[in-house]
């Protein structure tokens, strides 16, 4: 079974066509809460997501996705959960 990084790399590579990668892609960055932000653009997903879970001040996720863009935020220890949800959304 592919790991999350391999899944994201494979998806990204399959999208690249000398045009797509100039406007779209995957961004992973930190935010000052502290926490993480993941943004994926240029996708063709079949699902919309609206998730808002706050387990504690440091354990939380907020995800908004439509059929072409995925935007997720989470606490400093929620990167794995965000990546798992992003990978499922891209399937």
Q: Where are the domains of the chain?
A: 4-90
Give the span between the Cα atoms of 73 and 88, in whole angstroms. Answer: 16
Kindly report the pTM of this predicted structure: 0.92
Please state the rounded mean pLDDT for residues 63-83: 97
Pairing verdict, β 60-65 and 69-75: antiparallel
- The tens digit of pLDDT for each residue in 17-43 reads 999 999 999 999 999 989 999 999 999
What pLDDT was estimated at residue 2? 65
Q: How many CB atoms lie within 10 A of CB 69?
A: 14
User: Both tokens of residue 34?
Assistant: 């502290």
Confidence of residue 1 (pLDDT cuts 50, 70, 90): very low
Alpha carbon 48 to its chain centroid, in Å, reads: 13
- The tens digit of pLDDT for each residue in 79-88 reads 999 999 999 9
């Amino acid at each position: 079974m592919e790991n999350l990084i391999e899944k994201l790399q494979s998806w990204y590579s399959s999208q690249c066509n000398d045009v797509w990668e100039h406007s779209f892609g995957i961004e992973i960055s930190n935010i000052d809460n502290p926490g993480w932000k993941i943004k994926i653009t240029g996708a063709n997903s079949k699902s919309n997501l609206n998730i808002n879970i706050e387990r504690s001040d440091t354990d939380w996720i907020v995800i908004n996705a439509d059929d072409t863009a995925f935007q997720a935020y989470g606490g400093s220890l929620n990167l794995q959960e965000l990546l798992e949800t992003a990978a499922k959304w891209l399937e």
